[in-house]
Each structure stands twice: as C-alpha cells, then as structure tokens.
Amino acid sequence: MGLRAYVVRRVLQLIVTFWAFFTILFVLFRMMPGDPTSMFIMDGMTPEQREQRIAELGLNEPLHVQYVEYARQLLRGDFGQSFIYRDPVIDIIAVRFMNTIVLMGTALLFAYLIGITFGAIMGWWRDSRFERGGIIVTLVARSSPEFWVGIVLLSVFVFWLGWFPSSGMRTTGGELGGNFAARYGSVDFLRHLFLPALTGAIAYLATPTLLMRSTMLDVLNADFIEIKKAEGLPERTVLFKHAARNSVLPLVTVMAIATGSAMGGSVVIETVFNWPGMGREMVNAVNNNDYPLAMAAFFLMGSVVIIMNFVADLAYVYLDPRVEYE
Amino acid sequence: MSTERTSPTDRTETDGGTLEFIRSKLEIFEGDRLGQIGLGILCSFILIGIFARPYTIDFLNLTIPGLAPHDPAERAVGGRLESPSGAHPLGTTHMGRDVLSQLIAGTRVTLIVGSLAAFMAVFIGTNVGLISAYFGGWVDDVLMRITDIVYGVPFLPFAIVLVAILGSSIVNIIVAIVLILWRSTARVIRAQVLSHKQRPYVESAQAIGASHTRIMYRHILPNVLPLTFLYAAFAVAWAVIAEASLSFLGFGDPNMLSWGEMIYNVYTANAIREAWWWVFPPGICIMLFVMSVFFIGRTLEKEVNPELQHQ
C-alpha cells in the first residue's frame, strides 16, 4: 500500500471513529436519569409549561429523529442551549475550551521537555546511581493521581510558602484583556497557571521519560554513535545532537495517548485548582443534569483525542521512512 | 511433536504442588530490590484489607477483632477536626470520625476495585487480542476498529458520564473502568499472538488436527500469559487511580468509603488548609499502593522482555 492509499484509508477510519463516538455520546446522554426539565420545576413550572419546554427541546420526538437532528446540529457547530446558564453552549464552551488547551498544552510541553532531557541522560548514564534514582522518581510521579499531586503542590507552595495564588485563572477584579496575548500573557495569569501546569507535567512526565530512556538504549548500541565518538566529538554533542535526536521519534506516537490522558486529567486538575476550563465545567454540568453543556464538553474532549491519534499516525509515517503501511 | 513447547501449566503438574509453582514464580523477584519492596507493600495492604473490620464467627461464638479501632462511619468518636493524638493517631474529621479507621476500611475498596477491574479488563483484552490475531481477516478488522474507537473515548470523562447514568455504586464504577481499560491489553496481546501464529509449534498443532479453541487457549495462550500478567499489573494501577479520581470528583460509592472519597470529603468540608492529617494519609496510601504495583510490573517486564535486563 502506498502512502496515498494509507492516508485515504486512515481518513475513512477517522470518519467512522467520529461517527461511532458520536453515537456512543448520543446513547449515553439519552440514558441520563432525570429529565432536563427537572431543573426548572423548582422555578414553579406548571405541567403544561413543562410539556411545552420538552417539545421545544425536541425531546418528545422519536429517538431516530432526535439522532439525525442532533447530528445535523453538531455539523453546524450548534451544541444547543445550556439549561443552567440559558446561553448557547458554544459561547460558554469556546472560552472554557481555550482555557483547557492553554493549561494542558503547557503541562504537556513541560512534561515532554523534562521527560526528553531526563530520559536521554538516564539512557546515556546507564547503570549509574542517577539512572536508578531517576527511575524511582519517575515511577513515584506516575503512581500519584493528578489530584494528589495538585493537593501536595497546593499545600506546599500556597498554604505553607504562600508563593502562588490558590485557585482560579486570574485575580478577581484583574484586568481582562481583549486579545489572546493580553489574556494569556499577563504575569497574573502565569502565576495562576504555574501550579496546575506543573501538576499536569509531573503526572504525564513518566511516559516520555521512560520511553526516551529505552529508545536511547537502542540507539546507543548503533554503530554511528561509536563513529561519532571515534571522531572525537565532545560527549555532550554526541548525546544531544546525535543520540537524542534519533530517539525522539517513538515519542510522537505516545503524544496522542498523552493528550488523551491530559483531557481526562484536565477534569481533575481543573477541579483542584478551580480552573475555569472544560473539564470542571463538564463535572458541574453532569451534576446539574445540564446535558447540552456536558455533551459538548465530552464531544470536544473526544474530538481532541481522536484527531491527535490521527495526526500521530500520519506524523509517524511521514517522519520515519522505514515504516511500512500495513 | 518435538517443536511443541510445554506450557507452564504442564510443567507444574509434573513438578508437583502449587507451592512449588508459586516459589518458582517468586524467583524472578530475586535480586530485584524494587520488586521486593513492591511485593512487600502490596502484601501489607492485602492483609490490612482482609482484617480491616471485625469478623464474627457465630457458631464458635468468636469475634476476630478488626484492625480499625473505631467504626469508620461512627460520628463524634472524638472532637471535631482534632489533630493526631494517642486516642486518634491520625486525628478526626469534621464530623468527629476517626481518620485512621476510615483509612484502614478504605483499603478494601481499593483492593476490590483494583483486582476485579483489572481481572475483567485483562480477561476481555486478552480474548479480543487472541481471537483477533488468530483468525485475522474481517474478524481482526472488526475487533481492531472497535479497539480504535475505544481509544478515541477519553477515559475519565466517559467514566463520569457512565457512573452518573448508572448510579454511584462500586459495581458501576468497575464496569465504567473495565469498558475502557481492556483496550491496551487487546492491542498488545494481538501483536504478540501475531508473532506466535507463525511459529512451528502452532503449525504442528494444526497439522495434527487440533481445534481452533485448543490451539488458541492451550498452545498460544500460555506463551502470551506473562505479558497478560504484566498488563494486569498496569490495569490494577490505572483502575485504582481511576476509582480514586472518580471518588475525588464526588462520584464514589456513598456506601463504601474509599481513599479518594476521603479526600473529596476534606475538600467539601473546606478543611484542606488546616486538616493535613486528614488529607495526606489517604493520598499517600493511594500513591504507595499504585507504586507497589508499578514496581512489581517492572520486575514482570524484565521477565517478559529480557532485553531490558541489565547486561
């Protein structure tokens, strides 16, 4: 199979996956207990008004009609209206989505930077005390659930040392900048970002570190490393320029898996730090039976994971000419 | 059939004794410090879990005392938010409940979720991988596309939604975890079986007319079993972390207090800043438990993949 055929096949697969994911989403949320109007009953809604509301939402239609209608809405980027906020879901979720991407993107970036460096050095100094200690540290980091890392950081750096603000994304009453740079570039924002991003970085550090270490071990056995050493290049040059660069490739594939766990992790980390992101919004929405909002959040998280899987597969065949398309 | 390998199960039957079998399995921990530490921690947790609460044997009129000094749910056994003292080594909660007792009782939930979820996930994953690789063709295609789809579903958000639908009980939490967790085992076992399928021992079994089921479960499975155990260890770790995260978010079983739920309670009681004795012990326990499983996993990994062993 050539590259073109592979890409076509992979795109078809992407579409099927999306459709299946959408169907799971639809079935799950139609099974949800408590109907969406239960939140309004407290407002003194009469049974007639309730019927009317259900009709408005299209919930009295047969299921297959609802399914097609919902699919059509999604394709238009219309997620419906939030029951709680009474605003279009898309307006609420778009901001939250950006906040989550900024937070988890930073966390993953840190995790990969630290993991690659650390893993490369661990592979280079094989059997050293540094390597053994490094493995233990990595395994301990991997063993800690995100919320636990968050709580420890919170206790040490906020409650004890008082270096960072405890929660939220910016100090209340702080300037809300209009453009992207002003929103996400201010010192106040970065101070709020640091701890939650560090939490994510610690939680996701293990996979790149251990993988980098083991591919380094493979690469270091290769002949060209011996040649580079024989050429008399300084150790640092051989390590970072030749060995490490050739070990980075497999990390591309686990990037997709890392993004997947980061999407799940955002739920927990955002709850610990009160970060106004998609994950925390989803937990609140589920607790409040706010289906449209919860569905949209879930859909976006799944989409990120599915698309990242797709990108990782394509990047891999593009980056490594030796890969055969199965 | 000289090329046919004897499966591990055959070996035990000839060597005799389950004890001997266990001992031969434990040999891989020899000279592996981390693995031994992991095994030690895990065994301690299992013992604590078993003897957490008192047992009453009616016909002997005997009560075996539990390790937990108080009923974990009993209110006001001490003052509110008392810091650690002789009477309450880990202090009390905002309701005056004994933290140490809650911690000991919580071990059970972790053990139940960890073992059951991991067993079910690995059971499904191994079967999917085995069937997929052995039969190939459209069977493989269908099963692997399903696996791909499951890979597209974010784990924790899915578990949250499912538990919200089915209700917060320990069974539903396990189901939610298993529905996602089997995917990694399926992929890995499939790859391994694909390589075994080509080997002479499978061909010879086919030549003497062994049935598909027999070849799959009697000949191939024993050879991929070490890998299955490795993924079972990982599955225990992920299941425990997932349960803790779900409970921390408030979706835990209200009738079975787990470590994650304890931390959720600290959070909702707004006591995280002052009550360090209430926050830290459950967190440390989760970490230690998962760590022990990863340490054991590392030892198994060396066994499965000898290249990792230090030369």
DSSP result, B53-106: S-EEEGGGTEEEPPS-SS-TT-TTSS-TTPPP-SSSTT-B-TT--BHHHHHHHH
- The SS3 of residue A154 is helix
Does the pLDDT of residue B259 top 70, yes or no? yes
> What is the C-alpha to C-alpha distance for residues B217 and A286, in angstroms, rounded to an integer?
43
C-beta separation of B140 from B133 below 8 A: yes
Domains of chain B: 32-54+68-79+86-308 (1.10.3720.10)
Q: What is the pLDDT of residue B194?
A: 86
The count of other CB atoms within 10 Å of the CB of residue B144 is: 17
Does A200 contact chain B (CB < 8 Å)? Answer: no
DSSP-derived secondary structure letter, B36:
H
Does the pLDDT of residue A23 top 80, yes or no? yes
Residue A220: both structure tokens together:
């270091």
Q: Chain A residue closest to B148 (CA)?
A: A17
Return the sign of the alpha-carbon dihedral for residues B117, B291, A258, A253.
Answer: negative
DSSP-derived secondary structure letter, B272:
T
Least confident of A205-214, A217-226, A306-315, B77-86: B77-86
Nearest to residue A32, comparing CAs of B166, B179, B159? Answer: B166
Largest alpha-carbon pair distance within chain A? 86
Give pLDDT tens digits for A63-97. Answer: 777 788 878 888 887 777 777 777 788 888 888 88
Q: Which residue from B154, B249, B286 is facing A305, i.e. has the nearest CB?
A: B154
Q: Chain B residue closest to A260 (CA)?
A: B154
C-beta separation of A268 from A146 below 8 A: yes
Rounded to the nearest angstrom, the gap between the alpha carbon of residue B52 and the centroid of all alpha carbons in its chain is: 19
Residue B5 — very low, low, confident or very high, per pLDDT cuts 50/70/90? very low
Q: What is the pLDDT of residue B67?
A: 67
Does the pLDDT of residue A268 top 80, yes or no? yes
B309 class by beta-carbon count within 10 Å (0-12 exposed, 13-18 middle, 19+ buried): exposed
Q: Which residue from B153, B162, B241 is facing A145, i.e. has the nearest CB?
A: B241
Please tell me the distance in Å from A182's CA to the nearest CA on chain B. Answer: 31
Q: What is the pLDDT of residue B125?
A: 93
Q: Which residue has the higher pLDDT, A116 or A2?
A: A116
Residue A312: both structure tokens together:
């990782």
Q: Residues of chain B with pLDDT > 70: what percent?
A: 79
Residue A291 — very low, low, confident or very high, per pLDDT cuts 50/70/90? confident
Q: What is the pLDDT of residue A235?
A: 76
Nearest to residue A277, comparing CAs of A186, A185, A176, A193? Answer: A193
Query: What pTM, to 2 d.p., does this model score?
Result: 0.84
C-beta separation of B96 from B76 below 8 A: yes
H-type alpha helices, chain A: 3-30, 38-41, 47-56, 63-75, 89-124, 129-143, 146-153, 180-185, 187-204, 206-220, 223-230, 235-237, 245-247, 249-273, 278-287, 291-319
Give pLDDT tens digits for B179-235. Answer: 999 998 998 899 888 888 888 888 888 888 888 888 888 888 888 888 888 889 889
Residue type, A146: E
Residue B77 — very low, low, confident or very high, per pLDDT cuts 50/70/90? low
Does B149 contact chain A (CB < 8 Å)? Answer: yes
Domains of chain A: 3-75 (no CATH), 93-319 (1.10.3720.10)
Q: What is the ipTM of this complex?
A: 0.82
> What is the C-alpha to C-alpha distance for residues A295 and A70, in angstroms, rounded to an integer?
11
Does A148 contact chain B (CB < 8 Å)? Answer: yes
Give pLDDT tens digits for B141-166. Answer: 899 989 988 888 888 889 998 888 88
Does the pLDDT of residue B11 top 50, yes or no? no
Does B268 contact chain A (CB < 8 Å)? Answer: no
Q: Chain B residue closest to A264 (CA)?
A: B156
CB < 8 Å to B249, chain A: 267-268, 271, 283
Q: What is the pLDDT of residue B9?
A: 46
Q: Round to the nearest angstrom and report the end-to-end CA distance of chain B.
A: 34
DSSP-derived secondary structure letter, B56:
E
- Contact flag B151-A260 (C-beta cutoff 8 Å): yes
Which of A205-219, B68-82, B145-159 ranks highest by mean pLDDT? B145-159
Please tell me the distance in Å from A160's CA to the nearest CA on chain B. Answer: 9
DSSP-derived secondary structure letter, A160:
I
Residue A98: both structure tokens together:
């950006």
The residues that bridge with B57 in the sheet, in sequence order, are: B62
